[in-house]
Structure 1
Amino acid sequence: MTTLTDRIVRYGELQPCKTAFIDAHTPGSDQKENFTIIGGGVSESPDQHVHIGIPHGFNIGAAGQPPKCRNSLHSHRTAEVFFVLSGRWRFFWGRWGDAGEVVLEEGDIINIPTGMFRGFENIGTDYGMIMAILGGDDAGGGVIWAPQVIEDAQAHGLVLGEDGKLYDSKIGARPPEGVGPMKVLSEEQLKDFPEPTAMEVVGGYVRRYWDMVALADKTPCKVIGQTGIIRDKPGFEVDLVTRKSASTEMHSHDVPSVLMPMRGHWRVEWAGNDQHPAGHAVLAPGDTMSVPENLPHNATPAMTGEASLYHVVSTGDPAGLTWRGD
């Protein structure tokens, strides 16, 4: 029998990677910290630390950035969902990042449509953190960068190879023989990347924290899912649980699930089984807990005050395109 300690990642124990992506040396993006909490993530760097490698049907990650630091324009083949843990963030999209934008505050969530270029920037006054949920166990097999991002990176010494790996020419690294640099998308290929308006994205894919808290008055708010307030099937479902909608009743899932506190401290209790003895743990904002499949458990606020947490569970749906455009 094993304890669940190794399935809890504390905020203060997160191990960042500062060379995760091709824009790691580009001014304005060179202070990013990328975290892979659950799953393989989408990092292009072998330096990326994975905290929990157990397949969940989705990945959990995070991005930490100081003020005025941005993540460059890129696209994913599978779902990418963010909620703001701390700070104030601007999300923007389009070929040049000027098709639309939205500002998210703490607790707000965005389900960014796949198949379009997107980026984000910390516009707050202090270091900020956004938590990410990526569809699929392989997170879509990598990142597709806007052409100008690849070109800017090359000017600052970083080359992305056809093998999806980064090579830093400043330290003498270069792609192995037979591996060329990643080709930039042609103008014809770029036509396949949609540029929805701000109204389309904000109206369909963004939800505000306090609105979700109000909807979680008696039962958890189904944020993302086939019946969610963001109606989508990205391969997982996301609920927001608050003090009013938390329950002491034990429940379980036939797949691993994840608990991510947003506000307050949460006491998680679980019943014993053949693999894990009964126990409990207290989670704080920024902590992440992976709950094993078929393990009865509950989560309730551990003290007075505001309390909310995001709950994520795989649905087994293909983590396909979320942008419908119709």
Structure 2
Amino acid sequence: MLTIYGKCGQMRSWRDGNSHCRGEPRMNTSNNSNQQTLRPKTTVAPVTVIRFGEMMPDWGEYHESHAEGNHRAIYRYIGGISGQNLRSPLPGWEFTCGIAMAPPQNGAPLHDHPDEEIFMVWEGEFEIFWEDFETKAPKSVILGKYDLIRVPSGIMRGFRNVGKDDGFIHFIHGQGDYQYPVYPESLREGLPDDARTESYVKQPAYDPATQLVRHEECPRNWSVYHEAKLPEGVRSLRRYIGGVSGDTDEGPPPSLSEGEIGYAMVECGNGRGAPLHDHPCEELFIALEGRWVVYWADERGSIHQAVLDPWDACWVPTGVQRGFRNADRTEGKIHIIQGQGATPAPNYTEDYSALKANA
């Protein structure tokens, strides 16, 4: 089920005018070099657990969705098209994201957005295709499982399932205000009257061909955080995009530089994970493989938790101390999306300054 918690741990709805999280979680007041000044309390929405099995697919979100080759079901974790009825559990604040399920030889035609768009395949194989900004020449790349590509605003792009079975591709937009896509002239029949037809930028920020990350080529960094030296904190991060609040300079760097969001995959064994911490941005956890527990503290210091099965998610706003651990018997994978591309080191509940001093 979709479960929405206030910081007191009670089930609540973000749409309720009285649902704003009040107060701050209990913090460690000792001399901690990692400690940040307490950030303003969150006022957007409570912690929200999203169950993939209860997400509503939309087969007709766009005017071209029913055309041959464009069939796809859109599952949205966060956000939706501005001005339309919201189908996702939460609106977008700093980013939007979801999953597209496409039958073989189907997907999304050429389109553009005002923000960067990130694609990662979760099941199957997809072709990501785009037009060169200067020459309009077609370009493409095939993505396998957990491969990723980042596309800037100003580039017409699309995707197609090139596998033999239904495929699933995860997409993220770097802004919370999701606008109806911009389409080339050949795809504008039936376009909504208020839809934009001109690009949002005069020049793309980068070439998509330089933004491809193969899963096996994205290195596992076991030293992103000082507390990862503890037995319960041992975990690796594949940092696809940005530093994701790393507090050390050890290990391999992120595969792609900071952008509009931070994006990583955490892998670890049973009982291991991240301790209670906070960030100055919203954060989304999506279980990929295995079962995971996301837990958080309320203003009294009481701990609440939710168990995530594959593709279930937990959204946490800033101002809430949160952590996670692998609840399965074997190594698992969980996605982390941070709503800002460059964030400071985590604001921990516990004092880990001695680990930093001994580094």
TM-score by length of structure 2 reads: 0.68
Letter in 1 for 2:166: Y
Unaligned runs of 5+ in 2: 1-7, 14-47, 225-236, 244-252, 343-359
Q: Is the 8 A contact 2:287 2:310 kept in 1?
A: yes
C-alpha separation in 1, matches of 2:97 and 2:273: 24
Q: Contact 1:259–1:310 (CA<8 Å) still a contact in 2? A: yes
SS at match of 2:65: coil
2:144 aligned with 1:108 = no
3-state secondary structure, aligned to 1:267: strand
CA offsets 1:2-55 (integer angstroms, 9 cap, x no match):
4478711111111011111121221111x211122212x3378x46512112x4
Residue identity in the other structure for 2:192: G
- Counterpart of 1:237, as a letter, is G
Task: Give, in whole Å, the separation in 2 of the partners of 1:292 and 1:225.
Answer: 19
Distance 1:262 1:216, change over 3 A: farther
Q: CA deviation at 1:209?
A: 1.8
2:221 and 2:329 map into 1 onto residues whose CA distance is 17
Cα deviation, 1:252-296, whole Å, max 9, x if unaligned, reads 12332100122222121222326x952211212211210132222
Query: Is 1:36 the equivalent of 2:76?
Result: yes
RMSD value, Cα:
3.1
Q: Is contact 1:73–1:97 with CA below 8 Å preserved after alignment?
A: no
The structure 1 segments of at least 4 consecutive aligned residues displaced by more than 4 Å after TM superposition are 95-98, 189-194
Which residue identity is paired with 2:267? Answer: T
1:77–1:114 CA contact under 8 A, matched in 2? yes
Q: Which residue of 1 aligns with 2:338?
A: 313
Aligned residue among 62, 65, 70 for 1:24: 65
- SS for the counterpart of 1:50 is coil
* 1:310 aligned partner, one-letter code: H
Q: SS of the residue aligned with 1:222?
A: strand
- Per the TM alignment, residue 297 of structure 1 is displaced from its structure 2 partner at its CA by 2.0
**1:161 & 1:9 partners in 2: Cα distance?**
30
Partner of 2:104: 67
1:126 aligns with 2:157: no
**For each residue in 1:51-70, what CA deviation from the matched residue of structure 2 results, as whole angstroms up to 9, or x when unmatched?**
112x4311122211111112
| 2:313 matched residue in structure 1 | 288
Matches of residues 179-218 of structure 1 in structure 2 within 5 Å? Answer: 201-202=208-209, 204-212=210-218, 214-218=219-223
Deviation at 1:232, TM superposition (A): 3.2
1: distance between equivalents of 2:277 and 2:316?
11
C-alpha distance in 2, partners of 1:89/1:43? 27
Amino acid at match of 2:73: E
Unaligned 5+ segments in structure 1 are: 165-181, 318-326
Change (3 A) 1:273 1:190: closer
**TM-score normalized with structure 1 length:** 0.74
Distance 1:2 1:22 in 2: 41
Greater share of residues in helix:
1
Structure 2 residue 292 is matched with structure 1 residue 251: no
User: In the aligned structure 2, how far is the partner of 1:51 from the partner of 1:283?
Assistant: 16
The percent of aligned pairs where both chains have the same amino acid is 24
Label 1:86 to 1:316 Cα distance change in 2 as closer, same or farther (>3 A): closer
8 Å contact kept, 1:42–1:143 = no
Corresponding residue pairs, total: 277
Matched, 1:11 2:49: no
- Residue 116 of structure 2: aligned partner: 79
Distance 1:316 1:102, change over 3 A: closer
